[in-house]
Structure 1
Amino acid sequence: MRKWGPLVAVCLGTFMLLIDVTIVIVALPDIADALNASLSDLQWMIDIYALALAALLLGAGSAADVIGRRRMYVAGTALFAAASLACGLAPGAGWLVAMRAVQGVGATAMFATTISLLGAAYQGRDRSVALGVWGAVSGAAAALGPVLGGLLTQALDWRWIFFVNLPVSVVAIAMTLRVVGESKGHGGARIDWPGTASFTGFAGLTTFAVIRADEAGWASARTAATFAGAAAALAVFVLVERRSAHPMLDLALFRDRSFTAVMVGAFALAGTAFGVLAYTSLWLQTLLGLSPVRGGLVLIPLALAAFVASALGGRLLHGAPYRLVIGGGLVLIGAGALAQAVLDADSGWASLTVGLVVAGLGVGLVNPAIAGAALASVPARRAGMAGGAVNTFRQLGYALAVAVFGTLLTGRMEHSLRDSGVPDPHATARVLAGGGARELLARVPEARRAATDHALHAAFASGLNAAALTAGAAGLVAGAVVLVLVRSKPQATAPEPEVPEPVAAVERG
C-alpha cells in the first residue's frame, strides 16, 4: 500500500475535483426549482468552476513550485471541502455561483500539482503506470458525474452532490500527509501574477460576454464592450508572457505545429463531448419527465464506452501515432454529437444512445493520449508547462462550449416558438431552457395546453439539435487539425516527462 499510496491519494482528489465539473448537470432542474435560478444562473453554476480551473491552473502550478506541491495540494483540498459545504448550504443562486468559484480555486490548487506529485513519487515503469491510472481516472470522472449526480439528487437531495465531497476530502488530506512526499521546483521559480490576472480577465470576460449576449443582444454596446475588454486582457497576457523571465505559458511553444494542434484538440475535447449535456439533462427531466436517476442513467452509455475504449485502447493502440489516436478520437466525438442531432417533438431518450456511445468511444481514445502528446511535442524542461496547458485549454473549451451552446439553444428555441405562435417567444425560450417547462404549461389555459406542450417539446428538440450540430462540426474540425498537423510520433517513443527534482530532504508525513 505504501508504494501506491501516493497514487491513491492523488487519484482520489483528482476524481473528486473532476467529477464536480459535470456532477451538477443532472441536478440543474432541482437547483432551479429550489433557488429560483434563471438560465444564466444555471450556466454560471457550471461555467464558473470550469473557468477557475482554466484561468488559474498555470499560475497555480508556478505557485506550487515555490511553496511546495504537497502543501499546495492539501491546502487546495481543504479549501475545496469548505467551499463544497458552503455550496450545499447555499440559500440562493448567487451564493451558489460564488461558492462554486471558490470551489474551483481549491480544485485548481489540487489539479495543478497532481502530475508533478506523481512524477516526484515514481520513476521509470512505475511512473508510466501511475500516469496511466491517473489518466484513466481523469477520463472516467467527467463521464460519471451526471450518473452520480442523479443518484445523489434523487436518493437524498441536490445539496448532497456537494456534501459528499467532505468525507472524501478528509480521506484525501489524511492520505496525502501520510504517504506523499513534499517537493518543490527549481530555485529560480517565480509566480507569474500579471500573467495569471490577465488570463483570468480574458477567460472570464469572454464567457460573460457569450452568456449575456443572448439577453443583451449580440450587437449591443454592452456585448461589444465586454468582448473588447476580453481582447484587451488577451493582448496584455501576450505582452506579459513575452516579456516575462518566468512565464506561466511560454508562447514560443505555439511555434511548434504539433503543440498548437494538441491544444486545439484539448480545447475541443470536453466542450464537444460534454458541453451539450447540461441542456440534454434539462430536456430529459423537464420535457420527458425522467427522474434525476433515470436522467443520469440515460447518459451512462457515454461513460461506459469511454471506459472500454480507454482500457482497450491503451493495450491495442500502444505505439500508434498520437495524431491517429487523438485525431480519430475527436472525429468519433464529432460524429457522436452529430448522431444526437436527430430529435423532434416526439423523440424519447433512446434517440441519444447511439450518439452517446460513439462520442464515448472518442473520449476514451483522446483522454489518455492527449497529455502524452503535449509532452512529446515540447522539450523535456517544458513538460510541466505543457501538461498544465492541456488541462487549461480543456477546461476553457468546456466553459465556453456551455456558454455558446446555451446561446444557440435559446436562439433556436425562440425561432421555433415564434413559428408555432407562442406569445413572447424570447422570454419563453429562456424560461424553457432554464428548466421551466412545467411553469410555462401551468400558465396556459387547459384548452391550449396540449398544443403548447407539443410546441415546447419541438422547440427544445430543435435547440438541442442546433447545439449538437455545432458540437459535431467542432469535433470534426479539431480532429482534422490534429490529423494534419501533429507529427507522426509513436506513443512508445514519446519522451518521459521531466519532473523537477524534489527538495534535498524529502519529508514524509
Structure 2
Amino acid sequence: MRTQRWTLAVVCAATAMLMLDIAVVNTALSRIAEDLNTGLSGLQWVVDSYTLALAATVLSAGVLADRLGRRRMFAIGLAIFTLASLACALSPSIGALNTARAVQGVGAAIMFAVSLALLAHAFPGSGERTKALAAYGATIGASFAVGPAVGGALTSGLDWQWIFLINIPIGIACLAITLTRVAESRDPRPRGIDWPGQLTLAAGLFLLVLGLLRGNEDGWTSTAIVLELSAAAVLLAAFVAIEARVREPMFPLGLFRRPDFTGAQLAAFAISASFFAIFLYVTLYLQQILGLSAIEAGLVYIPGTLVMFVVSGATATLGTRVHPGTLISGGLVLVAAGMAMMLLAGETSSWTMVLPGSIVAMIGTGLFNPAVSAVALGSVPAEQSGLAAGVNDTFRQAGIAVGVAALGALVPAEAALGAGSPAAYVDGLHQAAVAGAGLALAGAIAAFVLIRPRRARRVEQPATAALALDAA
C-alpha cells in the first residue's frame, strides 16, 4: 500500500512538472527573445526542439522501458529532464537553449512513455486503478490550467530562467522517491528497438520543420529549402516502407486498418497543428502588440483552461450517451469556430477580444480530449493500449511541431517582436487563424467519416482515465 501511494505521488508530481513546463514557456518567449537577442525563428525552435524530440522518441522510450525496467527508465528520464532544465536556465544563447530543450524533450518522452505503465503495475485492480488515473488526470488538468499564469508570474517577478529552475528541486525529489519507493517492472516478452524506423522518423520530421521554418527567410524555391523539404518527404516515405517490412515496427501500420484508430490520429494531429500551435503567436500578439506583461498574458488564458478542465470532466457522463466520434467532430468544429473568432482581435483591440475565441475553442478541446483518447485506446486490443497511447502522443507532438512551423510561415518575422508593423503582424495572425480553422474543420470531417458507431466499439472508460492519456 505504501508503495502504491509513493508511486502515485511521484508520477503525479513528475507529470505536473512536465505539464507546467509545456504551459509556462509561451508566456516567457518575449523575455527570452529580449535577453538572448533572437528573432521569431529562434523562439519557434524553443517550442519545436522540445516537441520534435518528444514526438520522435516516445515510442522507442516505451520499448526500452519494457526491456530495461520501467522504474529505471523513469529515473533516467527524470535525471535527463532535470539536468536539461538546469542547462536551459544557464543557456547563454538561443542555440544553447534550443539544444537543451531538445534534450529536455527526450527526458519528457521517457517519462510520458513510462508513467502510465508504473501506475498500471502499482494498481492492478480496476477499481483502484481508476482512482489512481483520476488523480493523474486531475494533476494534468490542474497543471495545464495554472501553467500560463505560473509562467507569467515567474517571468515578471523573477526572470525567464526561473520557468526552468523551478523544475530542479521537483526533479531531485521525484528522483529520490523513484529510486527508493517505486517497484520495478518489466515486460517478460519485450519488443526490440526499431532503429531504422527511429532514425528515419526523427530525421524526416526535423528536415520538414526546418524547411518550413526557414522558407520565408531563404525563399521557398531556394535550393536549400527545396532540398530540405524533398529529403523530408523521402525520409518519411522510407519510414512508412520500413514500418511495413520490419519484424517489430515501432509504428505498426496494421493499427491503421481500423478506421476509428486512423480517425483518432488524424484528429489529434489536426487540433495540435491548429489550435495548440497558434498559442505561440497569440501570446506574442498579447505581449508585443497589445503591450501586456508576461503575467497579464498568462492570466488571459486562465478562463479558457479552466473551462476546458470542467468540460473534460463533464464528458465522462456524455461519453455514455453520445458516441465518441460525435464528441471529437463536434469538438473540432468548436475549435475551428473559436479560431475564426480570433479575427475579431485587431492591433488596437482590448485583450478581452481574445477571450470569446479562446473560450469557445477550449470548450471544443474539453469535448475532444477524453473522447479521442478513448477511441485511440478502445479501437485496439488491451495488450496494445500502451503502444496506441504512444502513437497518439507522436501524432500530437508532431502536429504541434509542424503547426508552429507552418503557421509561422504566415506571420511576418520582423513584426513578431516589435521591429515591424503591428498591422502586418495582426494580418499574419489572422491568416494563421484562418488556416488553422480550416485544418480543424478538415480534422472534424475526417473524424466524422472514419469514427462511426457501426465501426467503433463502445468505449466506457472513465473520462479521467482518458484525460490522463492526453499528457502530451
Q: Identify the TM-score tier after normalising by the shorter chain.
A: over 0.9
Match of 1:483 in 2: 448
Cα contact 2:243–2:250 (8 A) shared by 1 = yes
Residue equivalent to 1:443: none
By how many angstroms is 1:140 displaced?
A: 4.6
1:375-386 alignment runs, 5 A limit:
375-386=377-388
Give the letter aligned to residue 459 of structure 2: Q
| 382-391 or 5-14, which deviates more | 5-14
Counterpart for residue 330 of structure 1: 332
TM-score, scaled relative to structure 1: 0.86
Q: Structure 2 counterpart of 1:372, which letter?
A: A
Percent identical pairs in the alignment equals 41
> Is the counterpart of residue 492 in structure 1 residue 460 in structure 2?
yes
Letter in 1 for 2:209: T
Tell me which residue corresponds to 2:469. Answer: none
Q: State the distance in 2 between where 1:308 and 1:493 align.
A: 17
Answer yes or no: is 1:44 the counterpart of 2:9.
no
SS at match of 1:23: helix
When residues 6 and 202 of structure 1 are mapped into structure 2, their CA distance, relative to the original with a 3 A threshold, is same
The residue number in structure 1 matching 2:199 is 197
Post-superposition offset of 1:316: 4.3
Shift of the 317–375 alpha-carbon distance from structure 1 to 2, 3 Å rule, reads: closer
- In 1, Cα distance between equivalents of 2:206 and 2:138: 29
Q: Describe the superposition over 1:357-409 as per-residue Cα deviations: whole angstroms up to 9, x where unpaired.
A: 11111222222232221111112232111010011100110111111111112
**What one-letter code is carried by the residue in structure 2 that aligns with 1:395?**
Q
Does residue 60 of the first structure (1) align with residue 25 of the second (2)? no
Find the aligned partners of 2:321 and 2:197 in 1 and give their Cα distance.
37
- CA displacement, residues 202-227 of structure 1 (integer Å, 9 cap, x when unaligned): 11111111001111112222111111
TM-score normalised per structure 2:
0.92
CA offsets per residue over residues 26-61 of structure 1, 9 Å max, x none?
A: 111111110001211110011100111101111111
Q: Which residue of 2 aligns with 1:414?
A: none
Q: Alpha carbons of 1:477 and 1:235: their partners in 2 closer, same or farther (altered >3 Å)?
A: closer
Aligned to 1:72: 73
In 2: Cα distance, 1:139 partner to 1:372 partner:
17
Letter in 2 for 1:87: C
Task: Classify 1:387/1:25 alpha carbon distance in 2 versus 1 (closer, same or farther; 3 Å).
Answer: same
Tell me what 2:468 maps to. Answer: none
Q: Tell me, yes or no, if the aligned pair for 1:275 and 1:398 is still in contact at 8 Å.
A: yes
Question: How is 1:103-142 mapped onto 2 (pairs within 5 angstroms)?
Answer: 103-122=104-123, 123-142=125-144
Question: 1:282 aligns to what SS in structure 2?
Answer: helix
Counterpart amino acid of 1:84? S
CA contact 2:290–2:348 (8 Å) conserved in 1: no
Q: Which residue of 2 aligns with 1:424?
A: none
Tell me which residue corresponds to 1:354: 356
- The aligned counterpart of 2:470 is none
**Alpha carbons 1:22, 1:46 under 8 Å: kept:** no
Secondary structure of the residue aligned to 2:344 is: coil
Q: What secondary structure, in the 3-state scheme, does the structure 1 residue paired with 2:409 have?
A: helix
Is the 2:290–2:347 contact (alpha carbons within 8 Å) kept by the matching residues of 1? Answer: no
Aligned letter for 1:274? F
Stretch deviating more after TM superposition (459-468 or 62-71):
459-468
Q: Does 1:5 align with 2:6?
A: yes
1:463 alignment counterpart: 428
Map residues 288-307 of structure 1 onto 2, 5 A cutoff: 288-307=290-309
**Aligned partners of 2:255 and 2:318: how far apart in 1?**
31
**Structure 1 residue 431 corresponds to structure 2 residue 433:** no
How far the C-alpha of 1:89 sits from its partner, in A, is 0.7
In structure 2, give the amino acid aligned to 1:432.
A
Find out whether 1:260 has 2:243 as its counterpart. Answer: no
What secondary structure sits across from 2:25 in the alignment? Answer: coil
AA of the residue aligned to 2:376: A
Q: Deviations over 1:337-359 (max 9, x none)?
A: 11112222322211110111111
2:24 pairs with 1:23:
yes
Contact 1:273 1:363 in 2 (8 A): no
SS in structure 1 of the partner of residue 185 of structure 2:
coil
**Offset of residue 475 of structure 1:** 1.4
Residues 18, 326 of structure 1: alpha-carbon distance in 2 compared, 3 angstrom cutoff: same
Q: In structure 1, what is the Cα distance between the partners aligned to 2:346 and 2:426?
A: 5
**3-state SS of the aligned residue for 2:58?**
helix
Q: Which residue of 2 aligns with 1:248?
A: 250
> Are 1:136 and 1:310, in contact at CA under 8 Å, matched by a contact in 2?
no
- Secondary structure, counterpart of 1:468 in structure 2: helix
Instruction: Give the corresponding residue for 1:209.
Output: 211
Alpha carbons of structure 1 residues 183 and 194: separation in structure 2 relative to 1, 3 Å: same
Checking the alignment, whether the CA contact within 8 Å between 1:21 and 1:50 is kept in structure 2 is: no
State the alpha-carbon separation in 1 of the partners of residues 146 and 328 from structure 2.
21
Return the alpha-carbon distance in structure 2 between the equivalents of residues 363 and 175 of structure 1.
34
- Counterpart position of 1:310: 312
Cα drift, residue 329 of structure 1: 1.6
Structure 2: any 5+ residue segments left out of the alignment? Answer: 466-472
8 Å contact from structure 1 (residues 205, 229) kept in 2: yes
Q: Is the CA contact (8 Å cut-off) linking 1:319 and 1:492 kept in structure 2?
A: no
Judge conservation of contact 2:10–2:177 (CA < 8 Å) in 1: yes
In the superposition, relative to structure 1, how do residues 316 and 188 fare at CA in structure 2: closer, same or farther (>3 Å)?
A: closer
RMSD: 1.9
Name which of structure 1's ranges 213-222 and 132-141 shifts more when overlaid on structure 2: 132-141
Give the match's secondary structure for 2:26.
Answer: coil
State how far apart, in whole Å, the 1-side matches of 2:187 and 2:435 are: 42
Which whole-Å CA distance do the structure 2 matches of 1:69 and 1:26 have between them? 33
Structure 1 residue 165 displacement after superposition: 0.4
**Distance change in 2, residues 1:380/1:114 (3 Å):** same
Is the CA contact 1:72–1:109 (under 8 Å) kept in the aligned structure 2? Answer: yes
* Counterpart-to-counterpart distance in 1, 2:131 and 2:203: 37
Structure 1 residues 139 and 327: CA distance shift in structure 2, 3 A: farther
The amino acid of 1:107's aligned partner reads A
C-alpha distance in structure 2 between counterparts of 1:188 and 1:73, whole Å: 17
Residue 407 and residue 136 in structure 1: after superposition, are their counterparts in 2 closer, same or farther (change >3 A)?
farther
Q: Is the 8 A contact 1:335 1:472 kept in 2?
A: yes
Q: Determine helix, strand or coil for the equivalent of 1:346.
A: coil
Going from structure 1 to structure 2, the CA distance change for 1:129 and 1:487 (only over 3 Å counts) comes to farther
